[in-house]
Chain A
């Protein structure tokens, strides 16, 4: 089995840390892990699609076309941008509906699509998709939308879209996030586990 996860969002949204949580959890379960775009320099305000592959034996760090099993879109248009890696036969989507509008929207007169339009774009590429207001919920609850990422991982687990155990993800969160943030992240993860979409 090779399981391919594409995690995407915007620089500054904590995409990198979220990817590390998933990669570490897979390592804890004894899988071989490979992935791309794991560098510390979040392109300032640019999109960052990181890829994580885990399984018994992995070669390419990059997911081949249409072979993603899960696209975790921490920002709606970035989720849609990742469709190259998705296919109806194989790919589940979890989309955080919290928009981070590009600055160029105003400058170039582009229009930001509605959630309905995003849904329409990804439908031909999705086996199943869950839209979750994770960042908004976390902004209300914790005063910071950033915990939406970890909540989204919780949703991925409870919906069966990410074949990792709760225990290893929790261990990975503990090893990854700074000490003072462990509790909020655990709460956010738990909220994701209980999410009914």
Chain B
């Protein structure tokens, strides 16, 4: 679960994260370029590749957004170099406009699109989404690993299929594959091929009619050949008149039910195109078949279609007994399948009753101590009060949705704050404030701001510039001072970009300076103009890690003796986790304070002061 493991020797058994195993699979496939945009639960693929790229001699970048990342991979692949992009499901929404045509043109070097779905939304607020629909809409072959070993092996296989059939291949995971750990037997790392050449080819790349229809027909043929050749990836275990068809991590939950007598299990590894032949043979002699798949009934509907021809009498279950929303667990399967499979289910009624007796305080995620976003939200609320529409966006700052701020009235998708705000402003006179992060600004916020400027509405835009893509684990963006290869670069300045749009009211403020923040917000809010405030302050978690890595220390703050009562309002209004209330006493917990000093600016002078004693 670290670089030495990821780079381990052939045949060694190590424990890897699903996403690390995918990165290893790419190394074993000789991948020469990878371009990604982070998104949980896919980010560790890029994080791992980024950390070993230099050493292994391939190219890695964190691109501006997923569409660009995919296009970069397509360019490499058109030129004969194997490439991989890893993204979360919403990332594929962004990339899809380019993915579909590349499936038509086909590729040269193997091109793998790793997509991580997140049923239950462990780390995705926006919506629940099933990527397998994209596979169908875009005619993209899709492999679905069910555990960490397969995550590695299927990645390598995906490159081979992609190159052999000259078509991008999706490797689809879910959170419980990407973020699960497991024993992996390593294969051999292949020296990356990093240089290629783009060779012109009218027939292949001119996707204009009538060539387009020729390409489409060719694509359909490719899929048929893939369906036939890779039927062998699907497996059958057991024997009986009841069958279970499943894929991905759901397969592991089915196996967890124990030794099922009289039950046959069919596991699909290639979930697009699904092999019709495989399904037909599997269900031919069955009395009942249960399809176990998270989210949408895609395999189930396919099985129903095949059953009409080969076994119309078979009883088919799927979403009638299993949920269509959220994530599956071994327990959900046990509950749903035990009546059909005749498994004895433990009686959990007492267990349930005892669980009900446990009442615990909630623990929601919060901004880190010393986070620049907390300071910005506080200042905005202090100056503008409550009667404002708060346009939210995607990043650590969504945590502003919770108490004590509640300053994200809607959160849609990356960059959406801008467009939605413009729409509200066009039809209403309400005051609207946009909160958008720096990475999100580069990703999809810029077109929205250009649109605001060019169509003349006047919201107050606050760009929360913490120098990094924080929420997904601190990946650099164009405004950061280093690249995905770990090299230094000159960061792009957001203020220069915004000014170049012709916006006059642009100001950079120090996110850790309340006086400056509040006075600029006051000034801008009085003007009847589009205003952009760039609240700049490095992500404290990142800064803290950098300081620690160099063996340095940072100063912390404490409450002066006898002044505790003057701080108690901050516990509720500011909610820095380091400021703690114990009975009537309020104190700053030394090992939690990251020394931003903002709290000291919110009380009278001399109440919160730099801590004198140094740590031992």
* 8 A Cβ contacts from B583-608 to A: 591
Nearest CB on A from B248, distance (A): 12
Query: Given that A39-B40, A41-B123, A66-B348 are known contacts, is A106 also in contact with B180, CB under 8 Å in the complex?
Result: no
In the A-B complex, list the 7 residue pairs whose CB atoms are closest, starting with the nearest: A110-B361, A61-B180, A46-B365, A59-B255, A60-B256, A64-B330, A45-B366
Contact B355 A84 (CB under 8 A): yes
CB atoms of A111 and B575 under 8 A apart:
no
Can you list 6 A-B pairs, Cβ within 8 angstroms, ordered by A?
A20-B15, A34-B181, A34-B182, A44-B366, A80-B360, A112-B361
Assess whether B362 is in contact with A87, with CB atoms less than 8 Å apart. Answer: no
Interface locus among A97-105, A152-160, A189-197: A97-105
CB <8 Å contact, B368 and A64: no
Per-position 1/0 for B4-45, Cβ under 8 A of A: 100000000111010100000000000000000000110110
A40 and B44 within 8 A (CB): yes
Q: Nearest Cβ distance between residue A105 and chain B, in whole angstroms?
A: 6
A residues within 8 A CB of B13?
27
Residues of A within 8 A of B181 (CB): 23, 33-36, 38, 52, 61
Interface string of A13-35 (1 = CB under 8 A from B): 00000001001101100011111
Residue in B closest to A45 when the chains form the complex, CB atoms: B366
Contact status A34-B180, CB under 8 Å: yes
Interface pair A108/B331, CB less than 8 Å apart: no
Partner of A59, one of B256, B364, B581: B256
Bound state CA distance, A155 and B434, in angstroms? Answer: 51
Number of interface residues, chain B, beta carbon within 8 A: 65
Q: Which chain A residue lies CB-closest to B330? A: A64
Asked if B176 and A61 make an inter-chain contact with CB atoms under 8 angstroms apart, the answer reads yes
**In whole angstroms, what is the CA distance A110 to B403 when docked?**
14
User: Which residues 152-188 in A have Cβ within 8 Å of B in the complex?
Assistant: 175-176
Per the bound structure, the CA–CA distance linking A109 and B29 in Å amounts to: 55
Q: CB distance B180 to A104 under 8 Å?
A: no
Verify A46–B256 contact, CB threshold 8 A: no
Q: How far is the CA of A104 from the CA of B471 in the complex (A)?
A: 21
- Count A interface residues, CB 8 Å: 59
Question: Roughly how many angstroms separate A147 CA and B269 CA in the complex, as a whole number?
Answer: 43
Contact A104–B364 (Cβ < 8 Å): yes
Interface residues of B in 29-78 (CB under 8 A from A): 40-41, 43-44, 47
Partner of A106, one of B15, B179, B581: B581
Residues on the B chain within 8 Å of A60, using CB: 249, 252-253, 255-256, 330
Query: Separation in Å of the B362 CB from the closest CB of chain A?
Result: 6
- How far does the alpha carbon of A114 sit from the alpha carbon of B360 in the complex, in Å? 11
B334 in contact (CB, < 8 A)? yes
Whether the pair A104, B363 counts as a contact (CB closer than 8 A) is yes
Which residues does chain B contribute within 8 Å of A39, judged by CB atoms? 17, 19, 40-41, 44, 179
Does the CB pair A24–B15 fall under 8 Å?
yes
In the docked arrangement, what's the CA distance between A41 and B395, Å?
13
Nearest CB of chain B from residue A115's CB, rounded to whole Å? 14
B360 touching A38, Cβ below 8 Å? no
User: Min CB distance, A171 to chain B, in Å?
Assistant: 13
Interchain CB contact (< 8 A) of B147 among A20, A61, A105, A144: A61
